[in-house]
């Protein structure tokens, strides 16, 4: 078993780095997997939360007919050929007049694999704040407002939670700084760090087809998988090798994110931390039996990796994925 290779891959994923996606261990049944394309079968949205030293939030006033005059965080759809960071910087410049850099992902929101929003904590690096004199089709103006006294009307109440999430992160970061890694991918997929723990021991599920690797599951774009959300792809892979009725499976959140956007590579790979546990706690000492030969449980022996995994699990030190 190539444990050194597995240890290196796990260390990279825990460190927020990316790994190339060569193939998938699980795919939707009866659905030919065509490459995903922005504006055709997927939509990605970027959103930025800015908080200044005065605890003020950057908001923009909408110009679109259906919500004209209301206030919202800088946000918009990604365009083909953009990286996630490029899309964020373009939207902020268009809507608020500012140059910026993202500091970390705050959360990922999904309505199924074909609609995903990436929420960032960001900081301004330059530019001139847009005033009503520069009103255009992108926005009417931008401004800084006290976090506890935002202007009305808001375009939607969903930004209140995101503003508070940013404030909490600034006060006490729950997860390491996490930014997208620029690696190509043709599908929407998830790389699983699927864990089983007992006392201070951690096992990680490993795929065996080809070289031993962290398993990858492809997200389908069928109505069923859309309704079920991206967790459907995780359950599909695990159902193929474990007796799920006896197990509790939970996606804790994101360890990292991969996307390129160049050369028609519009896919993304979400590196996710997943826990597998017996519903009956008395059976918790050894991981559940694996069916077939395509997967096995790898007992993590490296102390540093083991402690990292336990810390991330115990503290839920991951980027939250919300639906």
What residue ranges do the domains of the chain occupy?
21-36+185-315, 43-171
Q: What is the mean pLDDT of residues 21-44?
A: 91
* C-alpha–C-alpha distance, residues 51 and 282, integer Å: 47
Residue holding tokens 């590579």?
265
Q: How far is CA 250 from CA 116, 166, 193, in A?
A: 20, 24, 12
Buried/exposed code over 251-287 (b: 16+ C-beta within 10 A; e: otherwise): bbbbbbbbbbbeeebbbbbbbbbbbbbbeeeeeeeeb
| pLDDT of 77 higher than 50 | yes
Per the CB < 8 A criterion, the answer to whether 95 and 60 are in contact is yes
What is the residue-averaged pLDDT of the chain?
95
Of residues 136, 148, 152, the one with CA closest to residue 94 = 136
Phi, psi for residue 262 in degrees, rounded to 5: -90, 155
Give alpha helix (H) positions in the chain.
3-14, 84-96, 158-171, 223-228, 231-239, 303-314
Q: What is the mean pLDDT of residues 286-296?
A: 95
| pLDDT of 268 higher than 60 | yes
| pLDDT of 115 higher than 70 | yes
* C-alpha–C-alpha distance, residues 212 and 5, integer Å: 8
- Rounding to the nearest 10 degrees, give the CA dihedral for residues 260, 261, 267, 270: 40
* C-alpha–C-alpha distance, residues 214 and 211, integer Å: 10
Does the structural domain 21-36+185-315 have CATH classification 3.90.79? yes
Give alpha helix (H) positions in 36-134.
84-96
* C-alpha–C-alpha distance, residues 300 and 221, integer Å: 34
In this prediction, residue 2 carries a pLDDT of: 59
Of residues 52, 137, 55, 128, the one with CA closest to residue 96 = 128
The tens digit of pLDDT for each residue in 143-164 reads 999 999 999 999 999 999 999 9
- 43-171: which CATH number, 1.10.357.10, 3.40.50.620, 1.10.10.10, 3.90.79.10? 3.90.79.10
Show the CA angle centred on residue 245, arms to residues 244 and 251, nearest 5°. Answer: 50
The tens digit of pLDDT for each residue in 172-214 reads 999 999 999 999 999 999 999 999 999 889 999 999 999 999 9
* pLDDT-based confidence at residue 3 (cuts at 50, 70, 90): low
In this prediction, residue 40 carries a pLDDT of: 93
The tens digit of pLDDT for each residue in 202-213 reads 999 999 999 999
| pLDDT of 120 higher than 80 | yes
* Structure letter (DSSP) for residue 106: E
The tens digit of pLDDT for each residue in 235-244 reads 999 999 999 9
* C-alpha–C-alpha distance, residues 155 and 172, integer Å: 28
Phi, psi for residue 185 in degrees, rounded to 5: -155, 140
> Looking at 28-42, 62-76, 142-156, 201-215, which range is the least confident one?
28-42
Tokens describing residue 99: 């140059």
Phi, psi for residue 238 in degrees, rounded to 5: -65, -35
- Residue 151 CA to its chain's centroid (Å): 29
| pLDDT of 1 higher than 50 | no
Per the CB < 8 A criterion, the answer to whether 69 and 152 are in contact is no
Q: What is the mean pLDDT of residues 72-96?
A: 97
Does the fold of domain 43-171 match that of domain 21-36+185-315? yes
* pLDDT-based confidence at residue 318 (cuts at 50, 70, 90): very high
* pLDDT-based confidence at residue 285 (cuts at 50, 70, 90): confident
Instruction: Please report, rounded to a whole number, the percentage of residues in the chain having pLDDT higher than 90.
Output: 90
* C-alpha–C-alpha distance, residues 28 and 34, integer Å: 12
């Amino acid at each position: 078993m190539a444990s050194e290779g597995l240890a290196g891959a796990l260390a990279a994923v825990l460190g927020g780095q990316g790994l190339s996606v060569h193939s998938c261990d699980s795919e939707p049944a009866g659905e030919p997997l065509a490459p995903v394309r922005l504006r055709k079968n997927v939509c990605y949205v970027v959103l930025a939360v800015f908080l200044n030293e005065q605890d003020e939030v950057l908001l923009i006033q909408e110009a679109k007919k259906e919500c004209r005059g209301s206030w919202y965080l800088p946000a918009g759809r990604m365009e083909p050929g953009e990286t996630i960071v490029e899309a964020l910087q373009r939207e902020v410049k268009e809507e608020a007049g500012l140059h910026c850099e993202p500091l970390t992902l705050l959360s990922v929101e999904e309505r199924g694999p074909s609609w995903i929003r990436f929420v960032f904590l960001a900081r301004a690096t330059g530019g001139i704040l847009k005033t009503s004199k520069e009103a255009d089709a992108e926005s009417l103006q931008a401004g800084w407002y006290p976090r506890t006294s935002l202007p009305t009307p808001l375009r939607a109440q969903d930004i209140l939670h995101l503003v508070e999430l940013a404030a909490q992160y600034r006060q006490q970061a729950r997860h390491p700084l996490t930014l997208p890694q620029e690696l190509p991918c043709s599908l929407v997929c998830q790389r699983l760090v699927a864990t089983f723990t007992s006392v201070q021991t951690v096992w990680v599920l490993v795929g065996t087809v080809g070289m031993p690797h962290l398993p990858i599951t492809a997200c389908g774009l069928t109505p069923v998988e859309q309704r079920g959300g991206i967790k459907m792809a995780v359950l599909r892979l695990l159902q193929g090798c474990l007796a799920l009725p006896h197990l509790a499976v939970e996606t804790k959140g994101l360890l990292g994110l991969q996307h390129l956007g160049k050369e028609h590579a519009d896919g993304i790979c979400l590196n996710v931390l997943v826990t597998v546990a017996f519903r009956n706690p008395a059976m918790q000492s050894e991981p559940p039996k694996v069916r077939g030969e395509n997967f096995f449980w790898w007992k993590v022996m490296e102390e540093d990796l083991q402690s990292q995994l336990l810390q991330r699990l115990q503290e839920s030190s991951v980027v939250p994925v919300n639906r």
